[in-house]
Structure 1
Amino acid sequence: MSSHARALEPGRIDIERLSILLGQGNQAFEAVQGLTLSVEPGEFVCILGPSGCGKSTLLGALAGHLKPSGGSLRVDGEAVAGPSPERGMVFQHHTLLPWRNVLDNVAFGLKMQGRGKAERRRQANEFLGLVGLQDFIGRWPNQLSGGMQQRAEIARVLINRPRLLLMDEPFGALDAQSRLHMQELLLDIWTRIRTTVVFVTHDIDEALFLADRVLVMSSRPGRFIEDLRLEFSRPRRTELVTSLKFVRLKRHCLELLRHKDGSQLPRLTPLGLPLDNKQARFAV
């Protein structure tokens, strides 16, 4: 697809020298500093970094819940001025309404838009089928497993057909087997709908398995210290995580996460050997 055609699709992100302050007065601190980034429509981007580096803060700004203290943040050329269903957010713990069944939870966003009952239930059924919950539409949230709750949460967000799908460690509370299943399901859904995804995680395997690009952040104040563009073929299977290239990239990410300000950033070559400063930053 040409760059011009991609520019016309919804879901482009442009961030320029973005900084965000949290707290007030003497308690204020800079959570992220000078972030610059462009994301193409339909890209799957993972933000990887240590705890407290500002990953979730950046996601909150993209969702419109946090106001930048400096720089600019635009989606499809328009400044992010507040929350919108076009920028859907999935958290680590679901936000399903306990007094509504699964079908009505997923349909709730369309109800708030004034859609008729038949139409919103038809679409809710469609998206519940997409996440594999078509047999659980009448269940209550507390009757679902953790993985099923997150599937319903994803359907609840996707029914609004957002330009951006923002995910804040959505599988962090799941066991290893359920987490892997949800990762595969998410990739399958993304392949079908192709919305732009920004996925926050501190799990290296998860980031490398899911993403087109992995953005690595420094410790607070968070800054981008690496932009890894991955070339693993799709669809991806679990065997990928044991491949030599995957293991090499994982080792590089571990070195980046251990990086301390003032020391030289680790470099990456096709053989996993260090580069001097005159050579390319990395090559995958």
Structure 2
Amino acid sequence: MTAVPTPHGGRIAVERVSIELGTGAGRFEVLHDVSLAAEPGELVCLLGPSGCGKSTLLGALAGHLQPARGRLTLDGQPIAGPDPQRGLVFQQHTLFPWKTVLDNVAYGLKMKGVPRMQRQEQAAEMLALVGLSGFAHRYPRELSGGMQQRVEIARVLVNRPRVLLMDEPFGALDALTRSRMQELLLELWALLRTTVVFVTHDIDEALFLADRVLVLGPRPGRIVEELPVPFERPRHASLLTDPAFVALKRRCLELLRPDAGAGAPALDRLSPLGAARPVARYAA
């Protein structure tokens, strides 16, 4: 049996965070009094409808937004701005079209002052991990969408971030490519043990990937329930038809769409900290 590697990831804590956007009379609250934590090496999914503030929270964890109230920390230290320790992957890749795949992956190391030969060696190793060893000297335009996202993930992971923040990174891919990318992510996560906070509105994706799913309600977003995901790892696509998986999916549907299940609680009747499993205990 392969030994489980020591978690490389850091501990993310969100303590009673509220985030507001806009100015003057147009200012509005996107997230309200959100508390959660992601433990070192854990994979947590934020699941919710469009507009509930999932991506906004991820932007704050990346250091691009400051909360109106509350506190965000990594390993107990306040998050005050962007940092390579918190890598961010978007739905659409941000690769430089004029750079080769290898140079794109090595770019962050170049900004750190890593010598050319060393950074190219590390970039080549990361490309091998994502299955793109033969494409180091291609350009992004020569790759499929799934391959471009592999490069994007490699470019973030080459910096060995303590936290990987993923904002619907597979949302633009076709179903088969998306499934393969989910399995690749789980393989990389099992190897590197980086803490992952993954944003999605796809229930299957959240339950397939996560250790825990945190369900957010409509704007202003707040956590309405925490769902531990009990399925053994490694996970494969066949899990999606498992009766226990289907039952958990039904619960998610009830939370996101109160009309999807008989007797399901309406979101506006749930307390800000949820129902069956209180989320408050995850605040730091």
Question: For residue 263 of structure 1, what is the aligned residue in structure 2?
Answer: 269
Percent identity, aligned pairs only, is: 63
Matched residue, 1:145: 144
1:183-194 aligned within 5 A: 183-194=182-193
Is 1:242 aligned with 2:241?
yes
In structure 2, the residue matched to 1:168 is: 167
The answer for the alignment partner of 2:212 in structure 1 is: 213
**Which residue matches 1:93?**
92
The one of the two structures with greater contact order (alpha-carbon pairs below 8 A, sep at least 6) is 2
CA contact (8 A) 2:48 2:256 kept: yes
The alignment status of 1:254 with 2:260, answered yes or no, reads: no
Structure 1 residues 10, 187: closer, same or farther in 2, change over 3 A? Answer: closer
* Distance (Å, rounded) in 2 between the aligned partners of 1:9 and 1:184: 20
What is the SS of the residue equivalent to 1:135? helix
The separation in 2 between residues aligned to 1:175 and 1:37, in whole angstroms, is 31
Partner SS state of residue 19, structure 1: strand
Q: Could you tell me how far 1:25 is from its partner in structure 2?
A: 0.7
User: How many angstroms does 1:261 deviate by?
Assistant: 3.9
**Contact in 2 for aligned 1:10/1:76 (Cα 8 Å):** no
Aligned-residue CA RMSD (Å): 1.6
Give the TM-score of the pair, scaled to structure 1. Answer: 0.90
The CA deviation at 1:219 is 0.1
TM-score, with length taken from structure 2: 0.90
Alpha-carbon separation, structure 2, partners of 1:248 and 1:179: 23
Paired residue type of 2:268: G
In the alignment, the residues of structure 1 paired with residue 59 and residue 277 of structure 2 have an alpha-carbon distance, to the nearest angstrom, of: 30
Q: Is the 8 A contact 2:8 2:193 kept in 1?
A: no
Q: Which runs of 5+ in 2 are unaligned?
A: 1-5, 259-265, 279-284
* Cα distance per residue 1:125-179 (max 9 Å; x no partner): 0000000000000000000000000000000000010010000000000000000
Whether contact under 8 Å (2:48, 2:54) holds in the other structure is yes
Structure 1 residue 281, shift from structure 2 partner? 4.6
Aligned partners of 2:111, 2:138: CA distance in 1, in Å? 21
Partners of 1:42 and 1:261 in 2: CA distance: 31
**Which residue of 2 is the match for residue 48 of structure 1?**
47
Q: Which residue of 2 aligns with 1:36?
A: 35
